[in-house]
């Protein structure tokens, strides 16, 4: 029966799509698909070429950059506030518990890209835009969809407090109702929830994020063999070890995360709950059976998330160093790129 299920899934879900419909979400006011056409026309090529080199050395960096974009946007919008170091005003977002496992290599990669872009184009591209493009390239270069990203974000002048960061980033122990309510506050739908959760198809998870399902009592909604193997990696509830998010294709961005859920092999409570809850199960099945539909929706949901509470125009700044505010007034004076305001989609 299991082999028949896998053959069925392979038959319907094997397509690894590279391109999609020309239809693109309309950018929010202030953003544009051609924002840097005159000021940094080779921006996306600069980022892509650099990340290709980095991923050859460490493919795990792709998941780190994607997660960085998520953790930035969910807390006071996509303003690169997660990149800011702490100051006299208090600890930064990076010091909040949910962000302690963000990869240091991801922060370094963004700062390296920042320096490279400054050299090629001058200080005209925001760190927030660099994060958004790097996240897209992390998906595309790992085998996922290559979608267009609206640009023109400005960098925030402040970081969120630890309490705000904790409140805005749902923990991996969250149930579906909590997740739906959290995303609803951001105007993200149930479809967005299930789709964006598919980002867990790449990357690593720390044992402490899911050992609540192994100890003291094992979660009955977890496959027994899967749980047995996890206990070998995570022999205690407080171990610092890590394991892959997706046991089937851990370094490839595909739809196998949803296949994992169907086989009760999701790591987090927040993952596996998507298959057991009637409000989300049908979408899990849809994406498990059709990778192309997952890719198309992932592109749409990522663009939607990437425009949460963005700063544009005279708001915010363009940081010369992504880890710190600019000195002086906090606003970097730049020549505003021409923005298309009458684009059709």
On whether 72 is known to bind a ligand per the annotation, the reply is yes
On whether 101 is known to bind a ligand per the annotation, the reply is no
On whether 75 is known to bind a ligand per the annotation, the reply is yes
* CA atoms within a 13 Å half-sphere pointing along the CA-CB vector of 291: 23
On whether 171 is known to bind a ligand per the annotation, the reply is no
In the chain, the N- to C-terminal Cα span, in Å, equals 45
Give the per-residue pLDDT at 66. Answer: 98
The answer to whether residues 150 and 28 touch, using CB atoms and an 8 Å cutoff, is: yes
196-207 residue pLDDT tens: 999 999 999 999
Six token digits for residue 320:
């010369």
Q: Distance (Å, rounded) from C-alpha 111 to C-alpha 141?
A: 20
On whether 77 is known to bind a ligand per the annotation, the reply is yes
Q: Where are the beta strands (DSSP E) in the chain?
A: 204-206, 242-244
Looking at 67, 69, 71, 114, which residue is catalytic? 71
What pLDDT band is residue 326 in, cutting at 50, 70 and 90? very high
Please tell me whether the peptide bond between 259 and the residue prior to it is cis, using omega within 30 degrees of 0: no
Contacts for 325 with CB less than 8 Å, ≥ 6 apart? 84, 157, 317, 319
144-173 residue pLDDT tens: 999 999 999 999 999 999 999 999 999 999
User: What does the DSSP assignment read for 158-178?
Assistant: S---HHHHHHHS--TT--HHH
* CA atoms within a 13 Å half-sphere pointing along the CA-CB vector of 302: 29
Q: Give the residue-averaged pLDDT of 84-99.
A: 89
What pLDDT band is residue 329 in, cutting at 50, 70 and 90? very low
Write down the mean pLDDT value for the chain: 90
Q: Distance (Å, rounded) from C-alpha 300 to C-alpha 280?
A: 18
The answer to whether residues 312 and 115 touch, using CB atoms and an 8 Å cutoff, is: no
On whether 336 is known to bind a ligand per the annotation, the reply is no
Give the least confident one: 16-25, 53-62, 91-100, 268-277.
16-25
Q: Using alpha carbons, select from 199, 178, 169, 172 the residue that is nearest to residue 297.
A: 199
Six token digits for residue 234:
């995570």
Give the per-residue pLDDT at 23. Answer: 64
Q: Give the residue-averaged pLDDT of 237-262.
A: 97
Q: In whole angstroms, what separates CA 38 from the centre of its chain?
A: 28
Q: Using alpha carbons, select from 247, 227, 230, 252 the residue that is nearest to residue 239.
A: 230
Give the per-residue pLDDT at 25. Answer: 85
Is 69 catalytic? The answer is no
The answer to whether residues 316 and 156 touch, using CB atoms and an 8 Å cutoff, is: yes
Q: For residue 8, is pLDDT > 60?
A: no
The answer to whether residues 107 and 68 touch, using CB atoms and an 8 Å cutoff, is: yes
Q: Using alpha carbons, select from 259, 291, 255, 289 the residue that is nearest to residue 272.
A: 259
Q: Using alpha carbons, select from 302, 312, 318 the residue that is nearest to residue 69.
A: 302
Q: Distance (Å, rounded) from C-alpha 214 to C-alpha 207?
A: 10
274-312 residue pLDDT tens: 999 999 999 999 999 999 999 999 999 999 999 999 999
Q: What is the pTM of this model?
A: 0.88
Q: Give the residue-averaged pLDDT of 231-257.
A: 97
122-143 residue pLDDT tens: 999 999 999 999 999 999 999 9
Which has more confidence, 344 or 302?
Answer: 302
Q: For residue 103, is pLDDT > 70?
A: yes
């Amino acid at each position: 029966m299991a082999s028949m299920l896998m053959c069925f899934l392979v038959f319907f879900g094997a397509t690894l799509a590279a391109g999609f419909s020309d239809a693109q979400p309309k950018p929010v006011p202030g953003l544009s698909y051609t924002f840097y056409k005159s000021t940094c026309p080779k921006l996306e090529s600069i980022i892509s070429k650099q990340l290709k080199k980095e991923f050859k050395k460490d493919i795990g960096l792709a998941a780190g950059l994607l997660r960085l974009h998520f953790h930035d946007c969910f807390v006071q919008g996509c303003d690169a506030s997660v990149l800011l170091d702490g100051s006299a005003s208090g600890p930064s977002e990076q010091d909040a518990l949910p962000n302690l496992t963000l990869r240091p290599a991801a922060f370094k990669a963004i700062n390296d890209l920042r320096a490279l872009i400054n050299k090629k184009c001058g200080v005209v591209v925001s760190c927030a835009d660099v994060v958004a493009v790097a996240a897209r390239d992390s998906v595309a270069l790992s085998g996922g969809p290559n979608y267009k990203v609206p640009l023109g974000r400005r960098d925030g002048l402040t970081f969120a407090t630890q309490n705000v960061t904790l409140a805005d980033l749902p923990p991996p122990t969250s149930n579906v109702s909590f997740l739906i309510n959290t995303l609803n506050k951001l105007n993200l739908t149930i479809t967005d929830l299930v789709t964006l959760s598919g980002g867990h198809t790449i990357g690593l998870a720390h044992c402490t994020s899911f050992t609540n399902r192994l100890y003291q009592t094992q979660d009955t909604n977890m496959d027994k063999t899967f749980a047995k193997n996890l206990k070998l990696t995570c022999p205690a509830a407080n171990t610092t070890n890590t394991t892959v998010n997706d046991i089937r294709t851990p370094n490839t961005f595909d739809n196998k995360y949803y296949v994992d859920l169907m086989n009760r092999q999701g790591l987090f409570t927040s993952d596996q709950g998507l298959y057991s809850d009637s409000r989300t199960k049908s979408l899990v099945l849809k994406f498990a059976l059709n990778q192309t539909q997952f890719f198309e929706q992932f592109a749409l949901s990522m663009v939607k998330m990437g425009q949460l509470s963005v700063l544009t125009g005279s708001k915010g700044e363009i940081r010369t160093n992504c880890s710190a505010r600019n000195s002086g007034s906090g606003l970097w004076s730049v020549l505003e790129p021409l923005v298309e305001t009458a684009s059709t989609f």
